[in-house]
Structures are given as structure tokens and as C-alpha cells.
Amino acid sequence: MHVDVVGNGPPLVLLHGWAMHGGVFAPLVARLRAVRTLHVVDLPGHGHSVGCEVPLALEPCTEAVARAVPEGAPWCGWSLGGLVALHAAATRPDAVPALAMLCASPRFVRGDDWKYGVSAEIFRDFAAGLRSDYRGTLDRFVALEAFGSEHARDEIRALRDELFARCEPAAAVLADGLELLESADLRHVLPGLRAPSLWLAGRRDRLVDPRAMREAAVLAGGAFEVVEHAGHAPFLTHADAVAARLLAFLDDPA
């Protein structure tokens, strides 16, 4: 598994979202590298980890990341990466002392007892699209991620630029990721979570409803904050605000 190590200071692990790679965090890395040593992961099948044979499933993926980053480093996960980070904090409490969830939810799809998720059909449609129109499907997902953002055009451009900057993820890996987004439900781990947590939402995020993150933060006993005017990737459009909130949390996570 590929991990870029950048910066100086205490460690922080960064985990990207579906179909992306660690390079997408460049604006955030630029603002944190002077005070944090960043361990920027390419998840299995993504970026420079395209040849990694670890399944894109919670436990194998978490174990592989845990072996590749320093024990005792806080984990920050964006979108799908948040599921991995949350699973790590729940199953390895001595190794993950603090957790930051960036536009990420313990459950992405809505249900009878979880009204703030998206329809499961969204992920199924993207999975079907991968088989018939691979690049078009990824382009549609990027548009969904940016939808609602005050700077949607800039966000779409940045995400598109990063999409194939390191590799072209295999359709099978992307399908596994969509299955994970559709099926994962980690709400049950929240009440027992030992790590202090920050749940940082984009006010205009149309993929992860800020209200879902607020509810998750309550269940976890964590802090909930919102980046105003931001969509699903606030570290691209509001990097200063995201960096400031992350550092404030990491300096005093309790």
C-alpha cells in the first residue's frame, strides 16, 4: 500500500474517498505540512496502490492501513475513507487516539431509522454504469460530489484533474467501493467509541447530509462543525477553514 509521508510535527493519517487517491488532499497538505507529519494513503486499488491486492472491505483495508502508518496517529477520513477511519477507531482504540470525519457518515444510505442518507439506488446505478460507461460514470459521480457547493465548477475541475492523475482504478475495485458505501452501517460502534471525534460537514453537501453527521456526532459524543457554503469536498474549496478546524481539534481533542 502506498503512503506519502510529508511535513513535520505530530503524525496525522489522511484517507481519501471513492475513486480518488491521496493527491486530492494537496490543498490541505499544503496548509498542514508545517505543523503535522501527514501520512497520505492511497487506498487499495487507487492511485499508486493500484496493484495492491488487499480487498476494499473494512477490516482488510483497515488492517493494511494500520500496518503502514504510525501507531498512535489520529486518522482523518473523507467520504468512503471515513468508514475506514471510523472502523479503525472502533476496533483499534489504542492505535487511533483521535478521529476526524470529513463529509463522512457511519451509514451513507437512508433507511427506516436513518432518514438523512441517500437512496441506495444511487450507488447501484453507478455500479451498473461502470460496466457500460466507465469514464462517464466517474464524471457523473464527480458532479454529484460538487453539486450544491458555492464553488461547484472549481470543485468539479479539481476533482476531474485528480481522478486519473495517478492511475485508472479498476472497475472491479470501484464496484467494491460502491458496495461498501451502500451496505456499511457503523452506527452501532458510535456509543462505545473511545476516541474523541470531530465531524466536519459541508453545509451544501448533497452526498452526505450534514444532519446525518450531526446525529452521528451526538451518538459518538463528538464535536460537530459545518463549513458554510462548502459541498462534499470542502478541503478543495475551503482549505483554510478545514485546516483551521482540524488543527484546533487535534491540538485539543478531548
Taking only the tens place, the pLDDT of each residue in 9-51 is 999 999 999 988 999 999 999 999 999 999 999 999 999 999 9
Give the domain extent around 46.
3-251
What's the pLDDT at 162?
Answer: 78
What's the pLDDT at 134?
Answer: 77
What's the pLDDT at 171?
Answer: 82
Q: What CA–CA distance (Å, rounded) separates 129 from 150? A: 28
Q: What is the CATH number of the domain that holds 196?
A: 3.40.50.1820
C-beta neighbour count of 170 within 10 angstroms: 15
Taking the chain (254 residues) in runs of 10, the rounded mean pLDDT of each run is: 97 95 94 98 94 94 98 97 98 98 97 93 88 81 76 78 78 91 97 98 94 98 96 92 98 88
What predicted TM-score, i.e. pTM, was given to this entire model? 0.93
**Which residue(s) pair with 13 in the sheet?**
39, 75
Q: With pLDDT > 70 as the criterion, what percentage of the chain qualifies?
A: 100
What are 218's three cell numbers? 451526538
Q: Please, are residues 101 and 107 in contact by the beta-carbon 8 Å criterion?
A: no
What's the pLDDT at 48?
Answer: 93
How many domains does the structure of the chain reveal?
1
Q: What CA–CA distance (Å, rounded) separates 118 from 144? A: 12
From 106, 128, 102, select the one nearest 117 (Cα to Cα): 106
Active site residues: 79, 205, 232
